[in-house]
Amino acid sequence: MREDVLVANATATAAWSGSPGTGRSVLVGLLGRGIQLSRTPAMHEIEGAAQGLKYIYRLFDTDVMPSGITIAEILRSAEICGFAGLNITYPYKVEVIGHLDGLSAAASAVGAVNTVIFRDGRRTGHNTDLWGFAESFRRAMSGAARANIVLLGAGGAGAAVAHALLECGAGVLHIFDADGDKAAALAADVCAAGGPGRALALAELDAAAIAAADGLVNATPVGMASRPGTPLPANLIGPGLWIADIVYFPLETELLRHARRIGCRVLAGSGMAILQAARAFEHFTGLTPNERRMEAAFHASASAPERRSQTE
């Protein structure tokens, strides 16, 4: 039975006792596809050990699980084995919502979940991507013009970035997605949250739209090691734009490399990745994480081969 396989694997992990520290045990995990090289486990386990926890981070990678296993089975198995919760990444950030009992304000606004907490028999979904991107932007892009911003990608990550940009004082978001309906739906959500005219869906990504913008954010998977390239023609980017990318495998995407070369101000995806993990750690444990320590753990894992990962 598929659930028996999941329970057996998770129980074996829970029984491991090699984690440093003498405090309580915390068992958490990450659900996604193609996540074997995620840096999230290292950030969590190193921070947990530093805080005296027996902290174990388990991967639920559906690419290497028996075919046909469902989100419902994975969530139930994690609960049975005493997990405190799960991080959620591509492609399950929206789908998981149908299996939860409640959502935080951020998750409800974004319509996507990247952290699920199991507590008192309930499953509550949170979105730490929103805060992670907003805080990264506030810290690294102070003074950047933001009257008009082009956002590429209207999926779960794009929705988090859109709402984060609103929090950071964006004027108008111009949203482009290969799926025009998704772009239109996200633009409508942003206008509902921020007021009429705060977002527009772009039917096409052309030179005029880019030329009118102050900055551009890539919230698509294009640029990952497994999906190389740039999410728009590089010749559309001029030195007057600032460029942000949420991809962090590789740390410097082709988009960021080109932008640096022509003199653009840039924001890499590492800041969002570290800060969303720090906020998730707080949800899982109730403890305040040391962000610098988690950042060091993130960069220490940079020597791993960069071939398959999502923005988690």
As annotated, the active-site residues are 93
Give the Cβ contact number of residue 1 at 10 Å. Answer: 7
Distance CA 116, CA 12 (A): 22
Question: How many angstroms separate the CA atoms of 285 and 280, rounded?
Answer: 9
Q: Which of 43, 34, 56, 29 is nearest to 270 (CA)?
A: 43
Q: Structure tokens of 249? A: 């495998």
How far is the first Cα of the chain from the last one, in angstroms, to the nearest whole number? 29
| Token output for 170 | 């964006």
CA distances for 207 relative to 52, 97, 144, 172, 238, angstroms: 53, 37, 21, 17, 10
Residue 38 DSSP one-character state: -
Whether the ω angle into residue 91 lies within 30 degrees of 0, i.e. cis, is: yes
Q: What tokens were used for 2?
A: 């598929």
